Structure 1
């Protein structure tokens, strides 16, 4: 028999959350695997939610969809969700620059102010721990300025020092700012190279936000970059095999 670790009320919230985050129908089997319960339990829970007028459409074997416009209490959190928030805040507070670190701590304070007393220990005595922060002492780029340009969809002029130490000037279309345990990367479309490039922020000597919009919607740029990365990884895996 499959164990049922979640209480029924928590499980009902989780079913709604899974349906809410999915853009496609979710089958009972998919729900049962994620929640670690039997398919029969999922059928019973979905029927109960429908009986409570939660706008779920679909049927067994096809998949379920949550109707648009439905919402549930925004902070009906289960322990694992709260632990995920705490871990994310820990990581951002340790690895982000001052603005982002303070914003992460502010988010956690807002969450702590509204969760019930029974959930407070997950915040005050967390079971998670993030790695130590990366060394930002050599990072001369203003990451807040980079993020502002990404949000506004404006071009950037970078004075960038490449791997050989040569200083170059690039006009780029910023796509996303990526963080890892060892560095921070600006992913952008480079006009000079006519392709996507990854610029380490600790090698950006200076940055200027230009009064000029990027050449296409950032969402499309992000899709193109993801497609390119997927293709590159698939090629690398094939060659390694």
Structure 2
């Protein structure tokens, strides 16, 4: 059985074979995966053994032949435009890890489309551009997202509206992209209430070792209802 690291690497290799014009040399694959050329050769054979149709050989390059038994990914033109607009918006407003993931998704979707829709995606009439400068964020947003997703409590060093740094213990529920700002919706254990914290005002954070699974979804629903005024409260970031 493949270990997780190898499984991830084989998925990345399939993505490279789909997104780079063929033939893709072993050197290019090795550079993209940050492995040796010998490892590339072994992984190509592993993919072939698993059923992937990969033409080519060492010294020439490789090309991936998609299984003709699988139907092409079917979208309408409007659906393709919606995908492009949404993912390019993520590229604009997301943290670096999320922006790179959006670009990767676009490449994967493009590889699975019929040729006519590939042209629609590549030459989409829609673009996403943010003209409002976003405040600089100095924390690892990807790590903050991961803690939120895995329902882990955090201690944050937070600069309030008056410029004072306070220590807060929170249960992060979601990150909202609004008005050129990234805002974390959370249960603030100091206030025992839901609060919205601007990520650009968080100057540091740490995991406490405590979790709050499986309550995040229900808590987020209650927080958003409170912010909408259904049960009172204030949606403004603190």
Q: Is this a same-fold pair by TM over 0.5?
A: yes
Alignment partner of 1:107: what SS?
Answer: helix
Once residues 165 and 126 of structure 2 are traced to their aligned partners in structure 1, the CA distance between those partners, rounded to angstroms, is 41
For residues 28-77 of structure 1, give each alpha carbon's deviation from its aligned partner in whole angstroms, at most 9, with x where no partner exists. xxxxxxxxxxxxxxxxxxxxxxxxxxxxxxxxxxxxxxxxxxxxx79321
Match of 2:107 in 1: 109
Q: Which runs of 5+ in 1 are unaligned?
A: 1-72, 237-241
Contact 1:134-1:183 at 8 Å conserved across structures: no
Question: 1:180 Cα deviation (Å)?
Answer: 2.2
Alignment partner of 2:229: what SS?
Answer: helix
Quick one: which of 178, 183, 206 aligns to 1:185?
A: 183
Counting matched residue pairs gives 165
Give the CA RMSD over aligned residues: 2.4
Match of 2:151 in 1: 153
Distance 1:235 1:185, change over 3 A: closer
**1:166-205 residue pairs with structure 2 within 5 A?**
166-205=164-203
Once residues 75 and 180 of structure 1 are traced to their aligned partners in structure 2, the CA distance between those partners, rounded to angstroms, is 32
Give the TM-score normalised by the residue count of structure 2: 0.64
Question: 1:145 Cα deviation (Å)?
Answer: 1.1
Question: 1:133 Cα deviation (Å)?
Answer: 6.5
Distance 1:212 1:235, change over 3 A: closer
Match of 1:50 in 2: none
Quick one: which of 84, 108, 123 aligns to 1:86?
A: 84
Structure 1 stretches of at least 4 aligned residues deviating more than 6 Å after TM superposition = 233-236
Question: 1:225 Cα deviation (Å)?
Answer: 1.2
Quick one: which of 75, 78, 102 aligns to 1:77?
A: 75
Contact 2:72-2:112 at 8 Å conserved across structures: no
Question: 1:80 Cα deviation (Å)?
Answer: 1.3
Q: Which runs of 5+ in 2 are unaligned?
A: 1-70
Question: Given the alignment of the two structures, is residue 142 of structure 1 paired with residue 134 of structure 2, yes or no?
Answer: no
Contact 2:135-2:181 at 8 Å conserved across structures: no
Once residues 115 and 104 of structure 1 are traced to their aligned partners in structure 2, the CA distance between those partners, rounded to angstroms, is 17
Contact 1:131-1:181 at 8 Å conserved across structures: no
Question: 1:154 Cα deviation (Å)?
Answer: 0.4
Match of 1:58 in 2: none
Distance 1:223 1:167, change over 3 A: same
Once residues 228 and 74 of structure 1 are traced to their aligned partners in structure 2, the CA distance between those partners, rounded to angstroms, is 44
